[in-house]
Amino acid sequence: MKASKAVYMLLLICMFFGFAAFVFTMRTLRWHAKQSQLPPQPVFQVADLRAMQKAGTLTAEEFERLSAAILRTENALSPPPRQRGFDVLPPGGK
């Protein structure tokens, strides 16, 4: 009788640690998949372009073209704003 209680207890402990390992593995895999889906960040920022223009390595036309491209990619990378809270219902509840 005592041996069967010990076996059941050992089985319960093994199941718990197995489940914990499964949850940890799934969360790690999901995090890794999410990280690999993010597109790369732009190489330059607009402040870098301004410094290059002041140093004389960029012309005004190149600065405008590159800054527009950087702003387009930054806007494409940023997630859409999320609505917070609940919808406001008009008086009367409909």
* 36 vs 29: CA distance, rounded Å: 11
Instruction: Please name the amino acid found at residue 74.
Output: E
Q: Flag whether the pTM goes above 0.85.
A: no
Is the pLDDT confidence value at 1 over 60? no
Q: b/e for 39-53, b at 16 or more Cβ within 10 A?
A: eeebeeeeeebeeeb
The string of pLDDT tens digits covering residues 49-87 is 899 999 999 899 999 998 888 888 777 666 667 777 777
* 11 vs 43: CA distance, rounded Å: 54
The whole-number pLDDT of residue 74 equals 75
* Domain spans in the chain, listed from the N-terminal domain onward: 1-38, 41-78
Half-sphere exposure of 56 (CA within 13 A, CB side): 0
